[in-house]
Structure 1
Amino acid sequence: MSYSKLSRAQIAARVAQDIPDGAYVNLGIGLPTKISNYLPKDKEIFLHSENGLLAFGPPPEPEQQDADLINAGKEYVTMLTGGSFFHHGDSFAMMRGGHLDICVLGAFQIAENGDLANWHTGASDAIPAVGGAMDLAVGAKKVFITTEHVTKNGKPKIVKELSYPVTGKQCVDRIYTDLCVINVTTEGLKVVEIVEGLHFDELQNQTAAPLINSLED
């Protein structure tokens, strides 16, 4: 049976479903920022950006863009009623102080124990871009990862042990890929969702760490 991978937009929409009402959430640069476009209107969710924003909304219409209202990815945003902006140092104090319920980050690699690598591939010609990822990885109460399941060259991103420089140790709680949703537990990597038409064995073949089939739990 054939299967279709989720698009980046579909991954973002899937993550948005799992963000609870009243949560304080940081959306990392790249794919995670797209999640703001899919947050349910009936939930009050407070988005945080490390450059000093709290309670911002989706992108504005082109004619309403304000160069002073951008997120950490330099993308235009809107401010919601009651939203605020503040010093970069205060923003990092929020991140480091355990005040964020969830952060959503991208990844180069995720290890089976929840270790995360997302700032450098270790290649000599690569440009490191850690930003606030280390602070978020250890400071947020829950860490969600959004990523394609394999690299453009077909190499698994979910591995037994990291081969890239570490961002955070045992920090990842849940992984959302274009093929599945995985919970990182003390028992191992539990697959809780899989795209229609993809067999579990094929998913395992594209993963360099053992998976636990929890689809019928």
Structure 2
Amino acid sequence: MNTSPSSPPRVDPRRVIAQRAAREVARGQVINLGIGLPTLIPAYLDDPASAWVHSENGIVGAGALARPQDLDSQLIDAGGGYVSVMPGGAIVDSATSFGMIRRGLIDITFLGALQVSAHGDLANWLVPGSLMAGIGGGAELAQKARRVIVTMPHVDKHGRPKIMTRCTLPLTARGRVATIITEHAVFACGEGGLRLVERLGALSVAQIREITEAEFSVAEGAA
């Protein structure tokens, strides 16, 4: 009989990031969710109906991913996922949807990233040499949303830092990222540089520095 203690269940870093990101959303805000990890955020809102999820392909008030028995081939989000629409939501044309973005009516856009610089530069659309259809709506969201929050793993799949002194990949937007949330930390970034405002998980400040290329200051209470 094996009496050795069982290992604790592994925590999914994507869900750690999404859960922390949900705390940035205030009731009544209009938020846009980038492809991938950001789509997990609504599951962690205290009340999923408290915010309006905007999808740039023409949904205001997108709801949860549709159940298999409720799939509607005409109702997908910008990432191609089958979704539902919240009560009071609307289907709009692309001109209206991008008009909302360009007029600054999106309170927060949550975006994934390949790299983010200490001063808020964002690179999230192209790795040189890879096939890519185009920059998509992320460029306009990054430029026009009232607040840009990046949700991403702290390092890439090769273990290389994604939070950089300067981005080495083609930029999506310059100086627009306000907050970075990874599975290990929450950073504020801008003209004054990078600042660690909260640690998530067990890593010390010194260990976070080891996996972050950019230098950063530490807010009181984050150490």
Q: Following superposition of structure 1 onto structure 2, how do residues 48-197 of structure 1 map, counting pairs within 5 Å?
A: 48-122=54-128, 124-197=129-202
The CA RMSD over aligned residues, in Å, is: 1.7
Ranked by relative contact order (alpha carbons within 8 Å, sequence separation 6 or more), the top structure is 1
Distance 1:128 1:157 in 2: 23
SS in 2 for 1:32: helix
Do 1:110 and 1:117's aligned partners in 2 also have CA atoms closer than 8 Å?
yes
Contact kept? 1:5, 1:179, Cα under 8 Å: no
Paired AA for residue 117 in structure 1: A
Deviation of the 1:5 alpha carbon: 7.0
Question: How big is the shift at 1:129?
Answer: 4.2
1:128–1:147 Cα change, 3 Å: farther
Q: Post-superposition shift, 1:42?
A: 7.2
Distance between the aligned counterparts of 2:131 and 2:32, measured in 1? 25
- How many residues of Structure 1 are paired with residues of Structure 2 in the alignment? 213
- From the superposition, tell whether residues 5 and 159 of structure 1 become closer, same or farther in structure 2 (CA, over 3 Å): farther
Deviation for aligned residue 1:127: 2.3
Aligned mates of 1:151, 1:162 — CA distance in 2: 14
Distance 1:87 1:191, change over 3 A: same
- Return the alpha-carbon distance in structure 2 between the equivalents of residues 18 and 198 of structure 1: 22
Q: Which of 11, 22, 29 in structure 1 is aligned with 2:28? A: 22
Gaps of at least 5 residues in structure 1 are: none
1:117-151 deviations in whole A, cap 9, x for unaligned?
000022x2342542101000011000000111111
Divergent runs of 4+, >6 A: none
**Structure 2 unmatched ranges of 5 or more:** 1-9
**One-letter identity of the residue aligned with 2:174:** K
Residues 160/76 of structure 1: CA separation in 2 closer, same or farther (3 Å cut): same
Show the counterpart of 2:5. none
Is the 2:183–2:201 Cα contact (8 Å) retained in structure 1? no
User: Sequence identity of aligned pairs in percent?
Assistant: 36
